[in-house]
Amino acid sequence: MIPAQFDYQAPATLEEAVSLLASDLDGAKILAGGHSLIPAMKLRLAQPQLLVDIGRIKSLAYIREEGDEILIGATTTHYQLESSDLLQRICPLLPDCAKSIGDVQVRNKGTIGGSLAHADPAADWPAAVLALGAELVLVGPKAERTVKAEDFFVDLFTTDLQPGEILREIRIKKPSGRFGQSYQKAPHPASGFAVVGIAVHLGLNDDGSCKAAAIGVTGVDVKAYRAKGVEAALSGTTIDDDAIAQASLHVCDGVDPNSDLYASSEYRGQLARVHMRRAIQAAKAKAQ
């Protein structure tokens, strides 16, 4: 319940945060909403020496359109994403995913950037950003770089963030043309984390056939991944029930699903297939 001691800094700017982080590459940690880090600290599973609180950098919390992109600041809370009219209009997958995270208290404080950087294998956001082909903007002491979501999640709780780097922004191409999106999740009854979570973005041709599908899967493997087998199987089909069912079978291609007290590997695989099918169907139903 009580974390170990640490030092705390609340820089006013991102530049300051970067330099504070650089001052102790091993012991410093970024604190955004704190809803991944603080629980770990309270159990003393994480004992950083220095917390650099970027939650106070107001300019890091935003949702805006710019050209053909949606830009989301790293410290934007789950609730801000859930309740954004703009997103509801142009990219409903984000609010859809946001509202299934944790509970209202967690959504009020937890941030998208914090969640992505933490890379919990059962977190919801990784699935959504994968399905949206997001790019993540990382800022370090020397330079800023952009990483594709697909390359960002490296392993269990491990991302491409290098020591000293901070996730600054999430960039998403504005979905265009005919499309439908959905996030379907089987929550753990105790923790609320995704036993499986499936985020689907379905691009449709004028005739209603599948132009391209992009699908993110969380909870199944040690990290979130793109279900490329499903995407490929769906592509070009008329997305009828049969095609959806067949494509969904590929959700665990190349993956050995996690096994834990709640769900065995076999059952988790089944949940992934079922939720995949339901997510695609829901996305199709929502397609304009």
Partner 1 sequence: MKLEGIHQLDAPRERVYQCLVDPEVLQRCIPGCERLEKTGDNTFAATIRAGVGSIKGVFNGTARLEDLREPEHLRIVVDSKGAPGFLKGSGDLDLEHAENGTKVNYSGDVQVGGTIASVGQRMIQGTAKMMATQFFTSLNAEAGTQAGEPPPQHGFFRTALRWFSGWLRNIFRKH
Partner 2 sequence: MKKAINLSVNGVSRTDEVEPRMLLVHYLRDVLDLTGTHVGCETSLCGACTVMLDGQAVKSCTLFAVQADGSAVTTIEGLAQNGELHPVQEGFWEKHGLQCGYCTPGMIVTAAQLLERNAAPSREEICHGLDGNLCRCTGYQHIIEAVEYAAAKKAGQS
Partner 3 sequence: MTNNYVGKRVKRTEDPRLIRGLAHYVDDVALPGTLHVTFVRSIYAHAKITGIDTSAALSTPGVVAVYTGQDVAGKIGPVPCASALPELKVPDHRVLATDKVYFVGHPIAAIVATDRYAARDAVDLVMVDYEELPVVTDVEQAANGGPVIHEAFGDNIAYKLTSGEGDIDAAFTAADRTVKQRILHNRLAPIAMEPRGVLARYFPGEEELTIWSSTQIPHLMRTQVALMIGIPENKLRVITPEVGGGFGSKLNVYSEEALLGWIAMQLGKPVKWIETRRENMQATIHGRGQVGDIEVGFKNDGTLTGLRYSVFADLGAYHQLLTPAIPTLTGLMLSGAYKIPAIQMNITGCFTNKMATDAYRGAGRPEATYVVERALDLVAAELGVDPAEVRRKNFPSPDEFPFHTATGLDYDSGDYETALNKAQEIIGYAQLREEQKKARDEGRLIGIGVSTYVEICALGPSQAMPAGGWESATVRIEPTGKVTVLTGASPHGQGQETSFAQIVADELGVNINDVTVIHGDTGVVQYGIGTFGSRATAVGGTAVFVAVQKLKEKAQKIAAHMLKADASHILFEGGKYSLQAAAAASATGVSEPVVPVGQAPAGALPEPETDGKSNLTIQDIALAAHLAKDLPPDTEPGLSATYFFEPKNFTFPFGTHIAVVEVDHETGDIKFLRYVAVDDCGRVINPMLVDGQVHGGIVQSIGQAMYEEVVYDEQGQLVTGTLMDYAVPRAKHIPNFELDRTETPSPVNPLGVKGVGEAGTIGATPAIVGAIVDALAPFGVRHLDMPVKPENVWRIINGN
Binding residues vs partner 3 (CB under 8 A):
1-2, 4-5, 44, 186, 188-191, 261-264, 267, 270-271, 274
Compute CA 261 distance to the chain's CA centroid, rounded to the nearest angstrom.
24
Residue (178 or 278) nearer to partner 3, CB: 278
Pick one of partner 3, partner 2, partner 1, none as the site partner of residue 285 (Cβ within 5 to 8 A by kind).
none
Pick one of partner 3, partner 1, partner 2, none as the site partner of residue 67 (Cβ within 5 to 8 A by kind).
none
Q: How far apart are CA 140 and CA 30, in angstroms?
A: 13
Q: Which residues bind partner 1 (CB under 8 A)?
A: 29, 37, 40, 43-48, 118-119, 121-122, 154-158, 160, 188, 191, 193, 221-222, 254-256, 258-262, 265
Residue (63 or 116) nearer to partner 1, CB: 116
Pick one of partner 1, partner 2, partner 3, none as the site partner of residue 45 (Cβ within 5 to 8 A by kind).
partner 1
Closest Cα partner for 10 from 27, 26, 31, 25? 31
Closest Cα partner for 121 from 157, 78, 152? 157
Pick one of partner 2, partner 3, partner 1, none as the site partner of residue 25 (Cβ within 5 to 8 A by kind).
none
Residue (106 or 222) nearer to partner 2, CB: 106
Residue matched to tokens 């004992």: 47
Q: How far apart are CA 220 and CA 131, in angstroms?
A: 15
Pick one of partner 3, partner 1, partner 2, none as the site partner of residue 210 (Cβ within 5 to 8 A by kind).
none
Q: Which residues bind partner 2 (CB under 8 A)?
A: 1-8, 10, 31, 34-35, 38-39, 41-43, 51, 53, 55, 79, 83, 102-106, 108-109, 190-192
Using an 8 Å Cβ cutoff, are 225 and 216 in contact? Answer: yes
* Residues 210, 212, 216: CA angle, nearest 5 degrees: 120
Per-residue DSSP letters for 140-175?
-SS-EEEEEHHHHEEETTEESPPTT-EEEEEEEEPP
- Least Cβ distance, residue 60 to partner 3 (angstroms): 29
Show contacts of 185-191: CB within 8 Å, 24+ apart.
185/100, 185/124, 185/219, 185/275, 186/219, 186/271, 186/275, 187/100, 188/122, 188/262, 189/262, 191/122
Pick one of partner 3, partner 1, partner 2, none as the site partner of residue 55 (Cβ within 5 to 8 A by kind).
partner 2
- Least Cβ distance, residue 188 to partner 2 (angstroms): 11
